[in-house]
Amino acid sequence: MKILLVGGNGTIGKRIAERLKSDHELIIAGRSTGDIKLDMSNGNDIDQLFQKTGKIDALVITAGSAPVKPLEELSFGDFQQGFESKMMGQINLALKAIPNIKPGGSITLTSGILSHDPIPYGTVLSTINSAVNGFVIGSYGELLYKGIRINAVSPALVEDSAEKLSEYFPGHTPVGMKEVVDGYIKSLKSNITGKILNIPA
Ligand SMILES: NC(=O)c1ccc[n+]([C@@H]2O[C@H](COP(=O)([O-])OP(=O)(O)OC[C@H]3O[C@@H](n4cnc5c(N)ncnc54)[C@H](OP(=O)(O)O)[C@@H]3O)[C@@H](O)[C@H]2O)c1
């Protein structure tokens, strides 16, 4: 498979890349690293990305961020920052991927546990993760008619981020990287569509 992995040098993305690189044609995109550099919050960058890749079998996105702040400090701009990056960045990539994905291909987005298991100061991410899941649920039927599958992987705090982030996730048990990568492999290689793959289930 020819797979475009946006965020493939990040904490989660590099583990997926390690699993896929020997058996697939893997194109890694990122903001400042990778085979192709782009800002996924910029529509022109996304158009140029697909001009560079040509037709692909699968798009996997493990990129996008949002501010983590107390509720009373949150502004419209904080939400906008998260919308432009993690939410519309992924959605715009998915929309612009449609004509560039071969029949039988797939799109895999990344949401996260905060959609249903919140942390203090994580309101923007909770909002955005739910929106990313909503896009998958809303779009899979129409994509099915085009022969394209779409799923979201929704990981808990991952093991490789635990040292850096566990103080923000009180009482959360980090999930192992093998289990996280397995979620992306399931979305890529099985026949499922329209699913939110919670990791752990
Ligand atoms: N880590 C966790 O525990 C965890 C848990 C649940 C959900 N998630 C979600 O999973 C996703 C990946 O998390 P992560 O921890 O792997 O993040 P990360 O280590 O910060 O890596 C993010 C990757 O995305 C790329 N990127 C960031 N902004 C971009 C932009 N505007 N345009 C293009 N590429 C961009 C970065 O490129 P460069 O390498 O060039 O900087 C990097 O490769 C995030 O959406 C996060 O919310 C993470």
| HSE (side-chain half, CA atoms, 13 Å) at 1 | 19
- 41 CB near ligand 1 (under 6 Å): yes
| HSE (side-chain half, CA atoms, 13 Å) at 180 | 25
Under DSSP, is residue 189 helix (H, G, I), strand (E, B) or coil?
Answer: helix
Q: How far is the CA of 2 from the centre of ligand 1 (A)?
A: 21
Residue 102 — pLDDT band, cuts 50, 70, 90? very high
Average confidence (pLDDT) over 73-78: 98
Q: What is the DSSP string of 98-160?
A: GGGEEEEEEEEEE--GGGTS--TT-HHHHHHHHHHHHHHHHHHHHHHHTT-EEEEEEE-SBGG
Average confidence (pLDDT) over 86-105: 98
- 110 CB near ligand 1 (under 6 Å): yes
State which of 49, 110, 159, 172 you would mutate to test the pocket of ligand 1, scoring each by most atoms of that ligand within 8 A of its C-beta.
110
Q: How far is the CA of 7 from the centre of ligand 1 (A)?
A: 6
Under DSSP, is residue 48 helix (H, G, I), strand (E, B) or coil?
Answer: helix
The pLDDT of residue 184 is 98
Tens digit of pLDDT for each residue in 149-175?
A: 999 999 999 999 999 999 999 999 999
The pLDDT of residue 22 is 95
Tell me which residue of 94, 101, 95, 85 sits closest to 42, measured CA to CA.
85
The pLDDT of residue 113 is 98
Name the burial class of residue 150, with classes exposed (0-12), middle (13-18) and buried (19+) by CB atoms within 10 angstroms of its CB: buried
Which residue reads 């990539």 in tokens?
93
Nearest CA to ligand 1 atom 18: 10
Q: How far is the CA of 65 from the centre of ligand 1 (A)?
A: 7
Nearest CA to ligand 1 atom 31: 39
Tens digit of pLDDT for each residue in 16-37?
A: 999 999 999 999 999 999 999 9
Tens digit of pLDDT for each residue in 176-187?
A: 999 999 999 999
- 40 CB near ligand 1 (under 6 Å): yes
Tens digit of pLDDT for each residue in 37-47?
A: 999 999 999 99
Average pLDDT, the chain: 98
Q: Where are the domains of the chain?
A: 2-199
- Tell me which of 3.40.50.720, 3.30.70.260, 3.10.20.30, 3.20.20.100 is the CATH number of domain 2-199: 3.40.50.720
Q: How far is the CA of 132 from the centre of ligand 1 (A)?
A: 15
CB 150 within 8 A of CB 105: no
CB 38 within 8 A of CB 47: no
- % of the chain at pLDDT higher than 90: 100
The pLDDT of residue 160 is 98
Q: How far is the CA of 53 from the centre of ligand 1 (A)?
A: 21
